[in-house]
Amino acid sequence: MKRLLPVVLVCLLFLASPAFASRHIDFTIHKMGSDRPGNTLLVIGGIQGDEPGGFNAAALLATQYKIKKGSVWVVPNLNFISIIKRSRGVHGDLNRKFAKIGRSDPEFDTISKVKRIILDEQVDLVLNLHDGSGFYRPTYMDRIRNPHRWGQSIIIDEEKIESVRFGELGEIAKQITAVVNRHLFSEEHAYHVKNTWTKLGDMEMAKTLTYYAVRNLKPAFGVEVSKNFPTHKRAYYHLRVLEAYMDLLGIEYERSFSLSASGVKGAIYDNVKLAFYDNRIFLDVTNARKRLSYIPLRRSAEIVYRPSNPLIALVESGEGYRVFHGNRRITRIYPQYFEYDFSTENVTMQIDGEERKAAFGDMLGVQESFMIVPKNGYRVNVIGFKKRGISDESGVMIGQEDIMKRFSVDKDGNIFRVEVYKDDKFSGMVLVNFSYENENLIASEPSSVSLFGLSAEEKASLAKDSPTSSGKGSNLGR
């Protein structure tokens, strides 16, 4: 049976699948399972980049859920470039390319890869997450609530797929809406089943991901939440639908946050963190300043980083890098390049009178003061601390008032960098946080940042801060 996990603030979940330089902007797939076999659910978010409810819900599923029985595969960022650009589709609507796509199309490889995932014999059921306009209603009520809208609906392409397990699409969709409608903020938010009857001649819907799946005898549903809601409420409803499908498939799970508006909002926005080079650098950029300067990145090496969720990306921009969380630009990183020293992995610290060993990549809570215990051959630089005549800041007791606030990582002036060097080489970093409990970084497989391998159009698009067009008209949905 599923049960609610307590919110844990002292550990991070990091991605398990790498994305390297030539394909860091590609989508990722996260296969979650257990030693108890069962059905496999495939969830896809971000097929259209201007639908943050869907891709944020998928990212939470990939990072904040633990599967106890069965399997869940999640693609949270299918159209990553368009997510960053807040565009329905930088190269056109990706959800209209499943019937036919030419090899010259820049998204040919993306379509080919996701098709293979959909058709994998292990996949039992497919969900494609969307944010749609208004509120779908079977009969016309007003401009926002009518049969031409998409929001708050479960989409099916036909009533059933004959002789296929979970092929009773209409009946399953009705069951799901009945479950979700018990957990509404308002009765006006009720879900309905929308059958597009694609097989009968809907040329637009015939091009979509779900109909591709259905044509290949894979049960598939579109899940639409209304764009009238803020992002965290959209994600809330998506997660309600996802959990209803997992229950239907007999998939057992736990999640690390409360399934409420505030719980989902916190889970989305309070987990934006990066680790570089096997945790030698860790940055909590949840509430970062607009620019972080003199970050000691490795000279003459690809920038390899670990994000706390699959919607985080670094994009090269002039002399620095922009950090994105989905379609939000979080901060800019301006590096200072060093050779790296790998002779040590940690430092010894005194924190509020208690001695402890801190590994590079840790963020440690401090109430009053801290000191780095001197280590022969190494020097310490606490960014923002200055005292005349001191070049090595180990052995010095430091309080929050001793560090210039403008050098903090966060806007509130609580998180500061403590960097360790051997001669002129950078050894590693820990963070001290004057408003937080101790936190240890959990290692994962690396991602990396580069614009190598992207087309000229993609580079030009990512170089701009302003969002591109998200399509024409107000009825855009699936």
Q: Band the pLDDT of 191: cuts 50, 70, 90.
A: very high
* One domain for residues 21 and 166: yes
Domain stops at, among 270, 303, 322:
270
Q: Work out the average pLDDT over 60-88.
A: 97
Helix pair angle (231-248, 52-64), 10° resolution = 50
Domain stops at, among 223, 252, 270:
270
Is 318 within the bounds of a domain?
no
Is 337 within the bounds of a domain?
no
Q: Which of 223, 194, 208 is nearest to 53 (CA)?
A: 223
Is 254 within the bounds of a domain?
yes
* One domain for residues 230 and 133: yes
* One domain for residues 45 and 129: yes
Q: Please check the confidence at residue 440 and state whether its pLDDT lies above 70.
A: no
Residues linked to residue 359 through DSSP beta bridges, in sequence order: 346
The pLDDT tens digits for 364-401 are: 999 999 999 999 999 999 999 988 778 899 999 999 99
- Bridging pattern class, strands 415-422 and 425-433: antiparallel
Q: Band the pLDDT of 437: cuts 50, 70, 90.
A: low
Contacts of 362 (CB under 8 A, 6+ apart): 282, 430, 431, 438, 439, 440, 441
Is 281 within the bounds of a domain?
no
CB atoms within 10 A of CB 441: 23
Residue 155: CATH number of its domain: 3.40.630.10
- Cα(55)–Cα(47) distance, integer angstroms: 8
- Cα(421)–Cα(377) distance, integer angstroms: 9
Domain stops at, among 270, 287, 316:
270
Q: What percent of the chain has pLDDT over 70?
A: 86
Q: How many domains does the chain have?
A: 2
Lowest pLDDT segment from 94-98, 189-193, 276-280: 276-280
Is 442 within the bounds of a domain?
no
Is 301 within the bounds of a domain?
no
Is 91 within the bounds of a domain?
yes
Output the pLDDT for position 271: 85
Is 42 within the bounds of a domain?
yes
Residues linked to residue 313 through DSSP beta bridges, in sequence order: 324
Structural domain containing residue 354? 346-433
- Cα(85)–Cα(90) distance, integer angstroms: 8
The pLDDT tens digits for 209-260 are: 999 999 999 999 999 999 999 999 999 999 999 999 999 999 999 999 999 9
Model pTM above 0.85: yes
Contacts of 177 (CB under 8 A, 6+ apart): 154, 190, 191, 192, 193
Output the pLDDT for position 438: 53
Decide if 259 contacts 240 (C-beta within 8 A): yes
